[in-house]
Amino acid sequence: MGRAIPPEARVRLQSAPPETLRKGDVAVYARGGRLVGHRVVTRWRTGGARWFLVKGDALRFPDRPIREDRVIARVVSVETAGRVAGPVPRSRNTGLLVWGFVLAWRVRQWLGGGALM
């Protein structure tokens, strides 16, 4: 994940029903046959489904929104060089760019368009 979780770290996961995830939690989800852990930036409900916008701490842009059924777990602690730390610190680095992305995605859905990327 980068800043909060170094690539060589071992992580402890906890089963997390999507409704329990909050802004700042690190959600683990499946993407392209791999598990990805990115921070929840925001969440919302549309058409009965819950959606999450997630972003890696070291990335400039968020991922495409993910649906609740793709979320597998939450990261609760990180082990690096034999030392365990947890919970994962929440990032305050969301910025206006992320909110602009959410707004653009919602407008595009409302207009009946497809994905942004």
Q: What is the mean pLDDT of the chain?
A: 76
pLDDT in tens, 9-23: 788 889 888 888 998
Domain for residue 49, yes or no? yes
Domain for residue 2, yes or no? no
Phi–psi pair at 59, nearest 5 degrees? -100, 150
pLDDT of the residue at 86: 66
Tally of structural domains, the chain: 1
Domain for residue 63, yes or no? yes
Domain for residue 86, yes or no? yes
pLDDT of the residue at 113: 55
Domain for residue 116, yes or no? no
pLDDT in tens, 55-83: 988 888 888 899 999 999 998 888 887 77
Domain for residue 115, yes or no? no
pLDDT of the residue at 9: 79
Residue span of the structural domain in which 52 resides: 10-110
Domain for residue 26, yes or no? yes
**The CATH number of the domain where 18 resides is what?**
2.10.109
pLDDT in tens, 91-101: 554 444 444 55
Instruction: Compute the average pLDDT of residues 94-111.
Output: 53
3-state secondary structure 55-85: ECCCCCCCCCCEEHHHEEEEEEEEEECCEEE
Q: What is the pTM of this model?
A: 0.69
Domain for residue 3, yes or no? no
